[in-house]
A = this chain, B = another copy of it.
Amino acid sequence: MPDVIPDDSVGLVTVQEHHFTEPLTLRSGRVLPEYTLVYETYGTLNAERSNAVLICHALSGDHHAAGYHRMSDKKPGWWDNAFGPGKPIDTNRFFVVSLNNLGGCAGSTGPLSANPETGKQYGPDFPILAVRDWVNSQARLADALGVDTWAAIVGGSLGGMQVLRWSIQFPERLRNAVVIASAPKLSAQNIAFNEVARQAIAKDPDFHEGRYADHDTIPKAGLMQARMLGHLTYLSDDAMRQKFGRELREGKLNYSFAPEFQVESYLHYQGEKFSTRFDANTYMLMTKALDYFDPAADYNGDLVECLGNTQCEFLVLSFTTDWRFAPDRSEEIVRALIEADKPVSYACIESDSGHDAFLLPIPRYHQMISAYMNRVADAVENGGEA
């Protein structure tokens, strides 16, 4: 609990929202007649409106990336270590926008919202989204905020896919793309992990084909199962070895099916916590958006051509022990950018922490972001644009 809010925190933040009444046609062909996006901002938009940075969140993230909502909050936002005064993305210099994506469960329009056409909760009838739908809705938020061009868009994992999609879809609307621990598309293995997680939810009898609200229940066991699996794949084998090894909860084997090893209790705890805070239909949607992402598909699978129209500079970062989105996958992006003759910086950061590393304050990682973003801020301040 922040008895005193740290100096390098963005401090107390207020959730804002914008309601959009212009219908949004989605990749699937379906149309969202109207929708709301909730968001937070940190720092101050300059007079030229040239210092705005957008954060795109990953599977289980939301708009609350930094700071505190109340003095009684136990924890700050999910990426607080990277955003704040003097932090890698310095809110003394940037105006940062962080939103909850469409289909989310933290306030933006999603499965938990009322369908304006029926007055009832969308639930499983909420349309399945593609990453480009998020980017389209984010572009409208930029319009609403008066941001023509982002100084940078930043995201890790599924967030990095949104950054990539921005660079392709609105090449003139961002000057820098920071793509972290991401991939140009999921592999069959990635899709398989998502499908196993979705099945865990879908087969939970409390799921009721997504209409659990009508039955006044939630598919807790399925969500817990999905999260345990997800969490496991975000950690590296090394990280788990260091964190848990084969330590036993009670110091001895019990020859029972209750959790005996520390790693089992840890996953149960993580799964349990998640299952009460996250909406199952949103989880299903988000993993589908991951599966579908494949921007090169519109260019006969040619990623070089796909990235050919981008106009921004790229910083691509990966982590040595990330096996869910391995360095190889980031390097596919980097190679394509080089071949397309685009400006790109790349680093593969040494880390034991697997995919989770992108959320951790690893010194070398933060130094890379700081150095890059400080140059972006210098350009903004010197030229009026980055």
How many chain A residues touch B (CB < 8 A): the figure is: 56
Tell me the minimal C-beta distance from A254 to chain B in angstroms.
Answer: 9
Binds B, one of A78-86, A149-157, A225-233: A225-233
Is there contact, CB below 8 Å, between A195 and B259?
Answer: yes
Task: Please tell me if the beta carbons of A191 and B246 are within 8 angstroms of each other in the complex.
Answer: yes
Q: Is B241 a contact of A188 with CB atoms below 8 Å?
A: yes
| Chain B residues within an 8 Å CB radius of A277 | none
Known: A205-B205, A257-B288. A294 touches B128 (CB 8 A): no
Q: Are B127 and A191 in contact (CB under 8 A)?
A: no
**Is A19 part of the binding interface, using a Cβ–Cβ cutoff of 8 Å?**
no
The chain B residue with its CB closest to the CB of A287 is B257
Residues of the B chain whose Cβ atoms lie less than 8 Å from the Cβ of A58: none
Q: How far is the CA of A203 from the CA of B257 in the complex (A)?
A: 12
Within the oligomer, what is the number of copies of this chain?
A: 2
Are B202 and A257 in contact (CB-based, < 8 A)? Answer: yes
- Known: A195-B267, A288-B257, A294-B246. Is A188-B240 also a contact (CB below 8 A)? yes
Q: Which of A127, A244, A261, A323 has the most CB of B within 10 A?
A: A261
Contacts A189-B240, A196-B225, A199-B228 given: A284-B257 contact, CB under 8 Å?
A: yes
Asked whether A256 is an interface residue with its Cβ less than 8 Å from the other chain, the reply is: yes
User: Which of B187, B205, B240 interacts with A241 by CB under 8 Å?
Assistant: B187
Q: List 14 A-B contacts (CB under 8 A).
A: A28-B255, A29-B255, A128-B255, A188-B263, A189-B263, A192-B228, A192-B263, A196-B228, A196-B229, A200-B225, A202-B257, A203-B204, A203-B224, A261-B291
> Which 6 pairs show the lowest CB-CB distances between chains A and B?
A188-B240, A28-B255, A203-B221, A188-B263, A188-B244, A128-B255
